[in-house]
A and B are shown apart, each in its own frame.
Chain A
Amino acid sequence: MITLNINKKNYKLDADPNTPLLWVLRDNIGLVGTKYGCGVAQCGACVVHLDGEAVRSCVTKISRAQGKKVVTIEGLSASNNHPLQKAWLELDVSQCGYCQAGQIMSAAVLLRENKSPTSQDIDDAMAGNICRCGTYLRIKEAIQLAAKESSSDK
């Protein structure tokens, strides 16, 4: 038995400790906001937060997540009101949407560590998240907007 803390809830799972976290999130728990893109840490669709770090859940075994806090896109904010989620809606960032949960989870770590990222900081942080639809420019704009909004909130 493995206990995982996901979005502030504890789940007891009867699963092989080598199972990728992504499998458990989607198939066992039913949190399907996190997507499977490549399965080999190459695309970023599966990014979730593990103790605040933007890990790729497709290559993160559940044994690594034990005793840590997992946050998925569903748990990023209380009512989809994280500054990034608001900016994403405001600018209609998504095209097909498949990569976007991973994009937002990566961007959330960037903004937590760097309240006013430069264009270069954004590129450096987001270079591992691929978007087949090519929404990169809107993603960048939305991150800038969220940074601006959250600094003017204070």
Chain B
Amino acid sequence: MKQFYNKRPSSALRTFFVLGSLFLFVGIMAFGSNLSIDKQSAINVKTNVVKDSVASVNAFKKVYAVLMSPRCMNCHPAGDVPLQGDDSHPHAMLPKRGLDGKGVSAMKCSNCHQPTNTPGPNTPPGNPNWHLPPADMKMVFEGRSPYQLAKQLVDPKQNGHKDMKKLIEHADDDLVLAGWNMGEGRAHPPLSHAEFKKAWITWLTTGAYAPQEK
């Protein structure tokens, strides 16, 4: 027993410990570096902005054309009544926004707008989440110049508290997508959704430059 206690670890054991700790160390390093890579790429998604004012302004021209098309602007009115139709006239029956954007008393959006489009011409288009922006964050598009709209879209105090990541995700929001599926007889936005999404992300990731006021 004495001998055993006094015995120093055999070379095999030593190798085992050394290798073991080495693996452990390498493991920690690998784990650690994985973490840092993940963090890095997460940050990249959020802020991978490569500034290019020319590309940005060009992309925004496309974005603006879509956002000012009736399919988007009609629910981002300057007043409290939504707009309607390809000519963006005030919505028949003058339904009001209400505090939460879902209408008031007997005139709530979902009283007519069903979870899906109602078939046929001149029938209400549908979405389960049909609404206007709420009264405390109206996110008006109607009447905004390209400069004003660009500034507004990236200002969290005016864009529904969205940061870069949320803005990018917003391109695939259900109601945004609904703009390309508004039921019979309604014009589509001027670009396809894929083209819009590409321009939107390009605009944001090249610095979200606002075109000069003319």
Interface residues of chain A, those whose CB is within 8 Å of chain B, are: 40-42, 47, 53-56, 59-61, 64, 105-107, 109-110, 113-114, 121, 124-129
A sample of 16 cross-chain residue pairs with beta-carbon separation below 8 angstroms, ordered by A number, consists of A40-B118, A40-B120, A40-B122, A42-B122, A53-B110, A55-B110, A59-B118, A59-B123, A59-B124, A64-B114, A110-B105, A121-B105, A124-B94, A125-B105, A125-B106, A127-B93
Least Cβ–Cβ distance between B95 and chain A, in angstroms: 7
The answer to whether B123 and A54 have CB atoms under 8 Å apart is no
How far does the alpha carbon of A109 sit from the alpha carbon of B108 in the complex, in Å? Answer: 11
Given known A40-B122, A42-B92, contact A64–B115 (CB-CB < 8 A): yes
- With an 8 A cutoff between CB atoms, is B42 at the interface? no
Given known A107-B106, A125-B106, contact A61–B93 (CB-CB < 8 A): no
Q: Which of B96, B106, B120 contacts A47 (CB 8 A)?
A: B106
- With an 8 A cutoff between CB atoms, is B112 at the interface? yes
Q: Which of A41, A54, A110 contacts B118 (CB 8 A)?
A: A41
Number of chain B interface residues as a range? 20 to 34
The answer to whether B123 and A40 have CB atoms under 8 Å apart is yes
What A residues does B123 contact at CB under 8 A? Answer: 40-41, 59
What A residues does B106 contact at CB under 8 A? Answer: 47, 54, 105-107, 109-110, 125-126, 128-129
The answer to whether B122 and A124 have CB atoms under 8 Å apart is no
How far does the alpha carbon of A61 sit from the alpha carbon of B114 in the complex, in Å? Answer: 9
The answer to whether B124 and A128 have CB atoms under 8 Å apart is no
The answer to whether B104 and A125 have CB atoms under 8 Å apart is yes
How far does the alpha carbon of A127 sit from the alpha carbon of B81 in the complex, in Å? Answer: 12
Segment 77-136 of B: residues with Cβ below 8 Å from A: 92-96, 104-108, 110-112, 114-115, 118, 120, 122-124
What B residues does A106 contact at CB under 8 A? Answer: 106
Beyond contacts A59-B124, A127-B93: 4 other A-B pairs, Cβ-Cβ < 8 A, are A41-B112, A124-B105, A125-B106, A125-B107
- Of B106, B108, B114, chain A has the most CB atoms within 10 Å of the CB of B106
The answer to whether A128 and B95 have CB atoms under 8 Å apart is yes
Least Cβ–Cβ distance between A64 and chain B, in angstroms: 7
How far does the alpha carbon of A110 sit from the alpha carbon of B105 in the complex, in Å? Answer: 5
Least Cβ–Cβ distance between B140 and chain A, in angstroms: 20
Given known A59-B123, A59-B124, contact A128–B114 (CB-CB < 8 A): no
How far does the alpha carbon of A110 sit from the alpha carbon of B114 in the complex, in Å? Answer: 21
How far does the alpha carbon of A34 sit from the alpha carbon of B105 in the complex, in Å? Answer: 20
How far does the alpha carbon of A126 sit from the alpha carbon of B105 in the complex, in Å? Answer: 9
The answer to whether A114 and B118 have CB atoms under 8 Å apart is no
How far does the alpha carbon of A121 sit from the alpha carbon of B104 in the complex, in Å? Answer: 9
Q: Which of B107, B110, B115, B120 contacts A128 (CB 8 A)?
A: B107
The chain A residue with its CB closest to the CB of B92 is A42
How far does the alpha carbon of A74 sit from the alpha carbon of B35 in the complex, in Å? Answer: 65
